[in-house]
């Protein structure tokens, strides 16, 4: 069976490898997003999938838009049996979805929970105990197609969005291979999603990363730091300066200090701050325009002492 694969970032690569390593499947083309300007120099950099394909000698193309009539013509010429989509980043128009017999979307959540563009971040932000990978059909409404297969995994209590992305990418390899075998054997069957149980995982912005020791609990701040790592990132302001909070922990300490007060300062527990409920241990930070450092080094450099209110 011939596959056209759609993907862009590092998460996509394991799903692409599943297509390559399934007997009976032939990769006809990889479609990825065009190079983007990145870094301070705004240098054009290709997608991670594009780099992977070039390294492996795989057929790959970058379409600026999928709505160009030439795109449909080129894909029809390939006569694909199957589209596989994993973290592509763009909606695929309906006229293209009519080309193959099968359409598989690799989605890193237990649908119908967390439809949308940030399904890895929100389970951490909400304090969920499990997550997983779903393989579903592609429907006109976002992430609402029939579910072909899904598997769940326990969510590590200290996971951040970066480590969870890597874990779910590895997990998706085996999940997708099982579904590809079902396609080959003519056993693919879908189950409609229960709309009443659907929840959204909306796109995140830098504004979502703002923290407040005066209104948030230690647990909520810790989840936000982990859930938004590495992007868009969590931050607070200290004397008007933006301070990125990179790593935190929840020390078993209680205090009667006002929220925002520095309770203690040590290497092991970091910069411990009182919140609305509980204490937060800040371990690593990045001052604006400077390199990341330990929170204790930052506090010592600014001569912050217990009793100081952030």
Boundaries of CATH 3.10.25.10 in the chain? 206-301
Distance CA 273, CA 257 (A): 9
* pLDDT the model gives residue 24: 97
Task: Find the Cα–Cα–Cα–Cα dihedral 51, 54, 56, 61, rounded to 10°.
Answer: 100
Boundaries of CATH 3.40.50.170 in the chain? 2-197
Q: Is the CB of residue 7 less than 8 Å from the CB of residue 16?
A: yes
* pLDDT the model gives residue 201: 98
pTM of the model: 0.95
Give me the residues paired with residue 309 across strands. Answer: 261
SS3 readout for the chain: CEEEEEECCHHHHHHHHHHHCCCCCEEEEEEECCCEEECCCCEEECCHHHHHHHHHCCCEEECCCCCCHHHHHHHHHHCCCEEEEECCCCCCCHHHHCCCCEEEEEECCCCCCCECCCCCHHHHHCCCCEEEEEEECCCCCCCCCCEEEEEEEECCCCCCHHHHHHHHHHHHHHHHHHHHHHHHCCCCCCECCCHHHCCECCCCCHHHHECCCCCCCHHHHHHHHHHCCCCCCEEEEECCEEEEEEEEECCCCCCCCCCCEEEEEECCCEEEEECCCCEEEEEEEEECCCCCEEHHHHHHHCCCCCCCEC
* pLDDT the model gives residue 11: 97
Q: Max alpha carbon distance in the chain (Å)?
A: 70
* pLDDT the model gives residue 69: 96
* pLDDT the model gives residue 37: 82
CATH of 2-197, one of 2.40.50.140, 3.40.47.10, 3.40.50.300, 3.40.50.170: 3.40.50.170
- pLDDT tens digits, one per residue of 227-274: 999 999 999 999 889 999 999 999 988 899 999 999 999 988 899 999
- pLDDT tens digits, one per residue of 187-230: 999 999 999 999 999 999 999 999 999 999 999 999 999 999 99
The CATH class of 206-301 is: alpha beta
> Nearest to residue 9, comparing CAs of 89, 65, 93?
89
Residue whose tokens read 């590895």: 170
* pLDDT the model gives residue 140: 87
Distance CA 50, CA 45 (A): 10
* pLDDT the model gives residue 189: 97
CA distances from 122 to 134, 144, 190, 215, 288 (A): 16, 18, 25, 20, 26
Q: Is the CB of residue 121 less than 8 Å from the CB of residue 227?
A: yes
Q: What percent of the chain has pLDDT over 90?
A: 94
Angle at 58 between CA 52 and CA 64, to 5 degrees: 75
Q: pLDDT tens digits, the chain, 310 residues: what are they?
A: 999 999 999 999 999 999 999 999 999 999 999 999 887 777 899 999 999 999 999 999 999 999 999 999 999 999 999 999 999 999 999 999 999 999 999 999 999 999 999 999 999 999 999 999 999 999 989 999 999 999 999 999 999 999 999 999 999 999 999 999 999 999 999 999 999 999 999 999 999 999 999 999 999 999 999 999 999 999 999 988 999 999 999 998 889 999 999 999 998 889 999 999 999 999 999 999 999 999 999 999 999 999 999 8
Distance CA 179, CA 170 (A): 15
Helices 48-56 & 10-20, crossing angle to 10 degrees?
40
């Amino acid at each position: 069976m011939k596959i056209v694969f759609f993907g862009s970032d590092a998460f996509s690569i394991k799903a692409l490898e599943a297509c390559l390593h399934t007997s009976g499947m032939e990769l006809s083309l990889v479609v990825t997003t065009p190079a983007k300007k990145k870094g301070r120099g705004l240098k054009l950099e290709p997608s991670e999938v594009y780099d992977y394909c070039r390294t492996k000698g795989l057929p790959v193309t970058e379409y600026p838009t999928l709505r160009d009539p030439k795109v449909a013509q080129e894909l029809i010429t390939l006569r694909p049996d199957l589209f596989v989509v994993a973290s592509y980043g763009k909606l695929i128009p309906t006229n293209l979805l009519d080309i193959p017999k099968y359409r598989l979307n690799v989605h890193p959540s237990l649908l119908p929970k967390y439809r949308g563009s940030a399904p890895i971040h929100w389970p951490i932000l909400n304090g969920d105990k499990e997550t997983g990978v779903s393989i579903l059909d592609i429907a006109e409404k976002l992430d609402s197609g029939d579910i072909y297969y899904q598997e769940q995994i326990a969510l590590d209590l200290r996971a951040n969005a970066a480590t969870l992305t890597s874990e779910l990418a590895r997990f998706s390899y085996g999940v997708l291979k099982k579904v590809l075998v079902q396609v080959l054997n003519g056993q693919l069957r879908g189950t409609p999603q229960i709309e009443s149980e659907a929840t959204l995982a909306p796109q995140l912005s830098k504004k979502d990363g703002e923290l407040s020791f005066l209104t948030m609990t230690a647990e909520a701040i810790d989840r936000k730091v982990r859930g938004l790592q590495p992007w868009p990132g969590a931050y607070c302001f200290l004397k008007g300066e933006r301070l990125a909070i990179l790593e935190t922990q929840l020390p078993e300490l209680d205090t009667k200090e006002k929220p925002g007060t520095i309770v203690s300062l040590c290497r092991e527990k970091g910069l411990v701050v009182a919140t609305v409920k509980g204490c937060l241990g800040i371990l690593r930070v990045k001052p604006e325009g400077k390199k990341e450092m330990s929170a204790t080094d930052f506090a010592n450099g600014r001569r912050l002492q217990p009793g100081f209110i952030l």
